[in-house]
Amino acid sequence: MDGCHLKGRLQYPLASLYSIVRTRRKLPGLYDMANKIDLAGRNAVVTGGAQGIGRAITERFLDSGAAVAIWDRDVKFAEKTAREFGNRGKVAAIACDVTNLADVERARDDSLKAFGRIDILVNNAGIAGKNATTWDYPAEEWRQVMRVNLDGPFHCCRTLAPGMIAQNYGRIVNIASVAGKEGNPNASAYSVSKAGVIALTKSLGKELAAYDIAVNAITPAAAKTAIFDQMTTEHINFMLSKIPRARFVKIEEIAALAAWCASADNSFTTGAVFDISGGRATY
């Protein structure tokens, strides 16, 4: 694994405007200020949005004016996150197991009841899976990683794309991983699943290019989230050794890139892969 997510977590401005706002966290090497991308009036779905990268994206979207539906299979955890963000904007916690197409369709209906429409989808929910050589990788573990990391985004895109087509607007952001570009030893299932997310992004981006719908992927290096609990210390150290920046990416940095990908400013680029690997990726 080289990314990213938490364990099992599973309106129309004419132009996007920027303003400068003070952040609550100071990132290394950055001023204590950040660009706030205007998502006012937009309604977003963030899968696995209760903690880790998903939580950071939810927070960034709310601060940028969007309403957010947190889709998570642990709905009580999602409700806790929603309560914590309740004074920041409109946020709803919706139970959803992304591996189950019928459950995704029900979550869509619940989100439409809450918000009226869905403008943004962030496919963030994911799991790391076991660290093992390919020949020793448990078959059921492989299938579970694929169900969450690849079937999940497919189910969500399949379910929400028709509504975006009907309204002729949408932004889909798939959280992949640098592992999907390069492949990590002893993490074949994770690497393959994230390569699949990149290919899904490129195919869907072409299919939706005739509409004002952008579909893009983000490929982070590893971030310190609950998903680290699924990995060996050896694997964590291996990932850090590959990053020229010599640190793990911060979840706020991933959220900032996701916010731009989800904005009206991203009006032309689609089917692209945005690298945020600290210099690790070679393409």
Residue from 12, 18, 137, 190 carrying the catalytic annotation:
190
Distance CA 192, CA 65 (A): 35
> Residue 39 has which token pair?
């998502």
- Cα-to-chain-centroid distance, residue 184: 20
Tell me if residue 190 is catalytic: yes
Closest by Cα among 69, 20, 26 to 48:
69
In this structure, what token pair is assigned to residue 23?
Answer: 């952040």
Distances (CA, A) of 24 to 21, 121, 146, 150: 10, 25, 36, 34
Element (H, E) at 43: strand 43-47
Please name the helix (run of DSSP H) or strand (run of DSSP E) that holds residue 153, with its range, or none: helix 152-167
**Which position has the token pair 């599973």?**
10
Tokens representing 243 are 């990053």
Residues known to be catalytic:
190
